[in-house]
Structure 1
Amino acid sequence: MFRRKYTILLITAIGFTACSTKPQTITVSQNSGTIQPMKGPITAPIKEEILIKNNPNLGTRVSVPKNRPTLGIKVLDSNEVTSGSELNGEIMERMPFPADEYSRLKKTGRYTISGKIYLQSSINDEKITDKKLKLYLNPVTSYSQQWYQQSYLGGYKLSPVDKRLNNYLKVDYTTDGGEFRFFGVPRGEYYLIGQISCGEKCGFSKRKSTRLVKEISVGSNVSDIELMKIVP
């Protein structure tokens, strides 16, 4: 009987001690060496733009045609090539007359330049020419090069020419068959210039003037020059 009471008291004491024990917190620390999964590079979406609007460093946005032509280059159709005033509506200022450059040119020489001027029809290969067509030999200088590049090739209309140029031009008129002949030409480089007016015979809807220019070099007598153009 005494042993039974002692056992009950012992169990009660152990239970009370266990309940009164202060709880402890166990902290589990992660291994700092754990390898984190790598993230791939972030790729920003690409937008097809030529220039960004309202950005002063890049300029103004322009639209891209569907056929994606080369930017900044305009290809003119043969029907679009016209006079400078019609092409751009402005007159370009001609450079000052270079009197020193022209003073070094000889006005007379001993060479003869001859040939023929005509237009050739692309339809039937007919050669179209006329009599009394006026032709010029214009010495190649910085002054005439401006005219050749900007007016003849570029299509711009230039301000009036300096009348002093007339002292250095050579002029001739064609025969019935379109032949021409210049006498007493000095050695040098020249623009040979002529103009033919033609209409339906040349394939044009109405009569128009076609200017012809050819650069030639004179160091001896030059013959059989063909100043021509295929039309329309």
Structure 2
Amino acid sequence: MRYPDRLRFGFVFFILLGGLWSLPGQALEPVSSSPPPLNEKELLPYKLKGHGSLAGQAFLSSPSGKGVTQAGVPVHLIPITSYTRSWFDRHIRTSSCGSQSDRASGESAPPSRPPAECVHDSLVPLLAEKRLTPYIRTTRANPTGHFWFTKIPAGRYYIVSLIEGGAGSHQEERAAGIAWLLVDLEAGAKETNLVVTDCKSNLC
């Protein structure tokens, strides 16, 4: 084989070899985007009783601007860790779940499933994780959507509430969706008048 032929052969060989080496990296790419494992060491500061408190109102916003509340609806206080942040980003922040008020106003296309079912399914996996149970606090809102948490340790939290049917008599007052808020609580701080909503009102 002449020298130029050998050179071309070697060049082609290394290109093919490089292509083979790139395959494992391509195959592993989906793994890197998978949810991180639950690291309970991140949760330890949230297990203890603290001296902080949180109070606010959970509601959805209707097209007319009225607040949609639900008496007795659970309000969850979820510590922010790498695990819960991944869950929040996938199921809440960028959720495809619409609301009945969305459909009424024409702001988005109708979801493929009923909104109440969609938002319910996004919360079930997290609340069913037994390792998270000691760290997630839950209270219930009163008829006007107001809630309170006491003896909270310092840290960063998601406040999440699934509202599946408002208390009003009109159709727009019976929307379904997830109201949420991010809170950074300092030691002993007392946060009041927190607005926990679905962000269509530009309040979060």
TM-score by length of 2: 0.58
* C-alpha distance in 1 between matches for 2:136 and 2:161: 13
SS in 1 for 2:55: strand
2:80 equivalent to 1:140: yes
Q: Which runs of 4+ in 1 moved over 3 A?
A: 92-95, 154-161, 198-204
* Structure in which a larger fraction of residues adopt helix: 2
SS in 2 for 1:213: strand
Contact 1:139 1:190 survives alignment (8 Å): yes
Contact 1:94 1:158 survives alignment (8 Å): no
In the alignment, which of 106, 120, 137 is matched to residue 170 of structure 1?
137
Gaps (5+ residues) in structure 1? 1-91
Please list the CA deviations of residues 28-76 of structure 1 after superposition, one character each: whole Å capped at 9, or x if unmatched: xxxxxxxxxxxxxxxxxxxxxxxxxxxxxxxxxxxxxxxxxxxxxxxxx
| Offset at residue 118 of structure 1 (A) | 1.3
* C-alpha distance in 2 between matches for 1:191 and 1:158: 13
* C-alpha distance in 1 between matches for 2:87 and 2:150: 25
1:108 corresponds in structure 2 to 49
| Matched AA of 1:226 | V
Contact 1:128 1:202 survives alignment (8 Å): no
SS in 1 for 2:134: helix
Aligned-residue RMSD, C-alpha: 3.0
| Matched AA of 2:182 | E
Gaps (5+ residues) in structure 2? 1-32, 97-121
Return closer, same or farther for 1:109/1:143 CA change in 2, 3 Å cut-off: same
| Offset at residue 158 of structure 1 (A) | 9.4
Q: Using the aligned pairs only, state the percent identity.
A: 22
* C-alpha distance in 1 between matches for 2:176 and 2:123: 18
Q: How many residues align?
A: 138
